[in-house]
Chains A and B, each alone.
Chain A
Amino acid sequence: MQNAPVTSTEAHLDRLRGDVAPVNHNARTIAALTGNPGCRRRAVLDAAGVDKKAMSVHIGHPVPFGQSTFAITRGNAFEAQVKANGCAELLTMLRERLGLDIAEVAYNDLEEAGGNGSREVRHALARRMIDGAAAGVEGAGTLFDHPLLGLPIGGRTVYLEPDLIAFQVGAQFHIIEIKSFPVIDGQADGGKVAAAAVQSAVYVLALRRLFEELGHDPQRVSHNVILVCPENFSNRPVATLLDVRRQLTVLKRQLSRLRRVDELLATLDPGLTFDLGVRDGTATRPAGEVVAALGEVEARYSPDCLDMCELSYFCRAEARGTTHALGRTVREELGGIEFVDTALRLAEGRLAPTVELAETAHALRTALRMRTECLS
């Protein structure tokens, strides 16, 4: 096993993060990352693996964000149940719904590489196993439990700790996503299904990339993801096929728009760090310093952040009074005007517009007049 060379980018990211273990990316965070590809702050913090949640608490803007421990426990329990007894329930479902052949039962546990759980070792093992299966080596496997995949994000390979099994029906590989939200009479919470689809698309992309690297046809990774959920309040699992082609297109476009991390780093003060100075589980660095450090990296807050970023309360407070805090539609309507106050003054005619803003100012004045007329 070759160790990846410690590049200056890695060293720089370590410095930014400080004396703590990095927070790993997962499909959820990548999905969120692509939700606001223009935010440098998030790009830098995520690349460095900064614990944004701990940070938000420390600087006094905690977000009620992320899965509750209860949901995680429930999710893990359901996953364990589906995989128990040699994936008995899963096999039954796949045989009934997808016609998986009786002979296809080989199971590979890729979660712990013989006690050596380092990411590099696990990734190498997953590569080797999936390579064998894709090459059609006999008995190479049907089910792969927690294969560790890689995906380049902003020019760096990010390891995904996927909550999934990839399996093959015939020559096709499918991603299986096990989720604990219920499917009731064939219907599930649309928002949850949508989120699961984006996350699964991240895995499809990562697996396709691996196929490409290994010289196999990436199209053998199906765009149909198998979503496994409990049915009708019972704990009986049910499988649904989810077509993630649309999510894949969006994802690919967003990822290509993400700036390269090293380019972002080059613009930063070399002494900058987001270290919280954690000693025995408590952050000791003055919060003011952390806030100042955050101020060094430009953010692009929009109300969407509230759904997907741990720093959203902080960024919202910081962005108060700016037009982009009101969302993309408003920002685009007010093209070129940065502050709400400027917009109001232009509307009321208290400020003479520059040439570029003449048109917007005219629109604003009209809008104000119409509003006044409506209300009077």
Chain B
Amino acid sequence: MAEPVEELERRIERLRSAVRHAVTTGDRATARTLRAELRRAEDAWEEALDDLADQAPAAPLPPRQRAVPGLLPLREQVHTALSLLSVPAAPRLVVQVHHAFFGEDVPSAKLTSLRRDEERSFRSAPFARPYYLCAALTADRLAPARGLLAVSTWPLEHRIVGPLSPRVDFLTAAVRVAEHAERLSKVDGGVARLLWMFGANIPGAASGIGTAAPAAVIRAARAELDSHTGVDRSHRTAAAARARAHLDDVGQLFGTQLRAVRSRTGT
């Protein structure tokens, strides 16, 4: 049931930027309506959050390391999951991976503000931390890709999202998850479910209904990757070069919010 919350969060983000736009352009009427809508969305978010808390799994979880879930453990959790995947990922996948491999729940609701907090921290003291949780950048506009988290220490090319990248990243993540699963002495419920989620959606990866063996997932994912990686890499390399040429450090990590569109549009 994490989706409604994510939906709301996306909407809240969109509304915030719309309010900002309305305020900066002096459109008070729109700003007022949007603000009201934003408040409603935020209320709904709080409610959805309570629901999530109610639905939290009853199964005993390993005790939390720290009593107060502050920013530090959260970013570490996210960092661990992202490092395992090695590709930009949506909060939902981060939560699934962390839960499957480390048996720990990541408070997913907190993930939305994470990127913003990291950006603030980076702006006030650039490169003070060993890594930042940052954005993936869209290949066409070098804007932050919607709803994806990445790690600042990755090569810029890995953080670029071109048209083929969502699929390439999905397949790469499948390989990584399967490799990780191979190393486990026993593939239990959470990991098996995760493998199936990948395996069911890669041709030739599933070994039966509901099961996907790590080796088969790896083989199938690599086979499909072959037909996408060449073009995908060329998109990413070109976009990364543009980003390096035109963006400062903050821009390269967190993306630009391009205001003006190039004057010559295809109309």
Q: How far is the CA of A103 from the CA of B168 in the complex (A)?
A: 11
Q: How far is the CA of A146 from the CA of B146 in the complex (A)?
A: 13
The 8 Å CB contact of B267, one of A21, A84, A107, A127, is: A127
Tally of contact residues, A, Cβ under 8 A: 46
B54 at the interface (CB under 8 A from A): no
Q: How large is the interface on B (under 10, 10 to 19, 20 to 34, 35 or more residues)?
A: 35 or more
A91 — which chain B residues lie within 8 A by C-beta?
A: 167, 201
Check if A88 sits within 8 Å of B265, measured CB to CB. no
Tell me how far the C-beta of A252 lies from the nearest C-beta in chain B, rounded to whole angstroms: 25
Q: Which of B1-9, B60-68, B151-159, B185-193 contacts A (4 or more CB under 8 A)?
A: B1-9
Q: Which of B101-109, B117-125, B236-244, B254-262 contacts A (4 or more CB under 8 A)?
A: B254-262
B164 — which chain A residues lie within 8 A by C-beta?
A: 105-107, 139
Q: Which residue of B lies closest to A128 (CB)?
A: B266
B250 at the interface (CB under 8 A from A): no
Q: How far is the CA of A108 from the CA of B167 in the complex (A)?
A: 12
The 8 Å CB contact of B257, one of A85, A102, A114, is: A114
Q: Indicate the member of B165, B167, B256, B257 with the most A CB atoms within 10 Å.
A: B167
Check if A92 sits within 8 Å of B201, measured CB to CB. yes
Check if A77 sits within 8 Å of B266, measured CB to CB. no
B95 at the interface (CB under 8 A from A): no
Check if B170 sits within 8 Å of A85, measured CB to CB. yes
Check if B257 sits within 8 Å of A115, measured CB to CB. yes
B18 at the interface (CB under 8 A from A): yes
A290 at the interface (CB under 8 A from B): no
Tell me how far the C-beta of B261 lies from the nearest C-beta in chain A, rounded to whole angstroms: 5
Check if B29 sits within 8 Å of A88, measured CB to CB. no
Check if A77 sits within 8 Å of B3, measured CB to CB. yes
Check if A21 sits within 8 Å of B163, measured CB to CB. no
Q: Which of A116-124, A200-208, A298-306, A353-361 contacts B (4 or more CB under 8 A)?
A: A116-124
Q: How far is the CA of A19 from the CA of B4 in the complex (A)?
A: 31
Known contacts A85-B93, A281-B36; A107 and B166 CB within 8 A of each other: yes
Q: Which residue of B lies closest to A130 (CB)?
A: B266
Q: How far is the CA of A214 from the CA of B259 in the complex (A)?
A: 26
Check if A76 sits within 8 Å of B257, measured CB to CB. no
Tell me how far the C-beta of B222 lies from the nearest C-beta in chain A, rounded to whole angstroms: 13
A20 at the interface (CB under 8 A from B): yes
Tell me how far the C-beta of B206 lies from the nearest C-beta in chain A, rounded to whole angstroms: 10
Q: How far is the CA of A281 from the CA of B92 in the complex (A)?
A: 34
B6 — which chain A residues lie within 8 A by C-beta?
A: 80
- The 10 A-B residue pairs whose C-beta atoms are closest, nearest first, are A86-B166, A114-B143, A114-B141, A77-B3, A106-B163, A128-B266, A88-B201, A105-B167, A115-B257, A86-B170
Can you list 9 A-B contacts with CB-CB less than 8 angstroms, sorted by A residue number? Answer: A1-B265, A21-B30, A87-B167, A107-B163, A107-B164, A109-B145, A114-B138, A118-B21, A139-B163
What is B's interface to A at a CB cutoff of 8 Å? 1, 3-4, 6-7, 14, 17-18, 21, 29-30, 32-34, 36, 44, 90, 92-93, 138, 140-146, 163-167, 169-170, 173, 197-198, 200-201, 203, 224, 227-228, 231, 235, 256-259, 261, 263, 265-267
